[in-house]
Amino acid sequence: MNTSTAPSVLFVCVHNAGRSQMAAAFLTHLGGTRIQVRSAGSAPADTVNPAVVEALAEVGIDISAETPKVLTIEAVQASDVVITMGCGDACPYFPGKRYLDWQLEDPAGQGVAAVRPIRDKIERRVRGLLAEFGIETAA
């Protein structure tokens, strides 16, 4: 890996309203400027899931201004690692990219109590990813 540039990670789920937003928020929060973070959805929702916003606010992360973004080929090409979360075949594949698929329950339509365990699993996986990159967490 080129040490002069920060590694870049793209989180993808269908609606970019829950899991990928949480993962991107944790990676940004914990990795700071030492990592580039993107998130997108194959069929983005209009807004981020309010239960996801609330669950992250409980741990001091504010994503209330975030909006779901559409997945683009450019975003995949610009990323070193692409982490999918239930988007199946909707994610474009490019040789040479590292792909991971995180099997996580979809928080869509669930209350904050159901989102908390998903949030905590995502935080653990993000911390593990940062450790793989050799990046100490900022928080």
- Catalogue the active-site residues: 13, 87, 91
81, 10 Cβ separation under 8 angstroms: yes
Spatial separation of the C-alpha atoms in residues 114 and 128, rounded to whole Å: 23
Centre a 10 Å sphere on the Cβ of residue 134 and count the other Cβ atoms it contains.
10
Spatial separation of the C-alpha atoms in residues 47 and 25, rounded to whole Å: 15
Spatial separation of the C-alpha atoms in residues 14 and 40, rounded to whole Å: 8
